[in-house]
Amino acid sequence: MPFTTTIITGATSGIGKETALALAKKEHAVYMLVRNIQKGEELRQYIISTTKNKHIYVIECDLADLESVRNAAGVLKSSLLGINILINNAGGIFAQRQESKNGNEMTFAVNHLGHFVLVQCLLPLLERGHARVINVSSEAHRMAKLNFKDINWLKRPYSAWYAYGTAKLFNIYFTRSLAVKYGSKGISAFALHPGLVNTSFGTDITGWGKWFLWLARPFMITPEAGAQTTIYLATATRIDAKSGKYFKNKRPAKTSSLATDEVKRNQLWDISMNLAGPFLV
């Protein structure tokens, strides 16, 4: 039987797929939380046939729908005694402003709030499994345009890249808050930059962002290479002392100065908890 129970969001493509495959090869029991069940089942069969690991599972979860997140957590709580690794990998950038089912700006919802609710719902399992929570952030956090009075981009011109950078900043805040608040309960947390990865990310972006991605394409790394820091954080021993850190290339790295702002980090926690509240009952 597999020793490590691992949950991963956004596993059906890109670095999520490579991460799920690599951890299955290491005999983790992998639970893939996916929006598209058909793609999830196809990937499940592929991983089983490739690795001979039969402990691969698919659970429907739409991070833009907090009720769906709560339901997915309910399935896990009814199936598992504990969780050892939670990889919050799913994310996205949206060319035009969109709203989630719960009325939140989509970049904020998918990259941060859905994962926030997932962690809160799974806390008993995470504590029982002395879990590592791994949040896939990005160097794009340095582009953040932080405005807690307009977190849903209603009062200012929407920018896909600034919204994405802000959400990636939130991943780092969330990581540090988890380490501070739940470290005494056996939970550790890590954020990471996967690198500039050649995936379908940002294909609908227009303007200067489209040209940037086009120019950067020859220098991008493969999804397999982009998954390496996530895999490292999920499997390395004796790294709990580095809980709360931001990693690049398997090593702790410096963040922007804004990412170290404790007051703003706590503000985000309070805002997120207020939005999550109705789905934590």
How long, in residues, is the chain? 281
Q: Give yes or no for residue 70 having a pLDDT over 80.
A: yes
Note the pLDDT tens digit of each residue in 158-202.
999 999 999 999 999 999 999 999 999 999 999 999 987 665 554
Q: In what order do the strands lie in the sheet with 251-252?
A: 56-60, 29-34, 5-9, 85-88, 132-136, 188-193, 246-248, 251-252
The amino acid that residue 98 corresponds to is: Q
Q: Which amino acid is at 183?
A: G
What is the dihedral sign for C-alpha 19, 189, 107, 72? Answer: positive
- Long-range contacts, 255-264 (Cβ 8 Å, 24+): 255/141, 255/172, 256/141, 256/142, 256/144, 256/169, 258/144, 258/146, 258/169, 259/141, 259/169, 259/172, 259/173, 264/146, 264/148, 264/173
pLDDT for res 196:
78
Q: pLDDT, tens digit, for every residue of 108-158? A: 999 999 999 999 999 999 999 999 999 999 999 999 999 999 999 999 999
Answer for the pair 85, 234: CB distance below 8 angstroms, yes or no: yes
Q: Which residue has the tokens 């209603």?
A: 154
Instruction: Please report, for the chain, the start and end positions of each structural domain, with discontinuous segments joined by +.
Output: 5-279
Cross-strand partners of 86: 7, 133
User: Which of 227, 222, 223, 201 lies closest to 213 in space, CA to CA?
Assistant: 201
* Catalytic (active-site) positions: 164
Q: pLDDT > 70: what percent of the chain?
A: 90
Q: Report the b/e string of 174-193 with b at 16+ CB within 10 A.
A: bbbbbbbebeeeebbbbbbb
CATH level 3 topology of 5-279: Rossmann fold (3.40.50)
Tell me how far CA of residue 34 lies from CA of 7, 9, 76, 95, 185, in angstroms: 11, 6, 13, 22, 28
DSSP 197: B
Beta-carbon-side half-sphere exposure of residue 28 (alpha carbons within 13 Å): 26
Instruction: For residues 277 and 145, give the distance between their C-alpha atoms in angstroms, rounded to a whole number.
Output: 25
Q: What's the pTM value of the predicted model, to 2 decimals?
A: 0.92
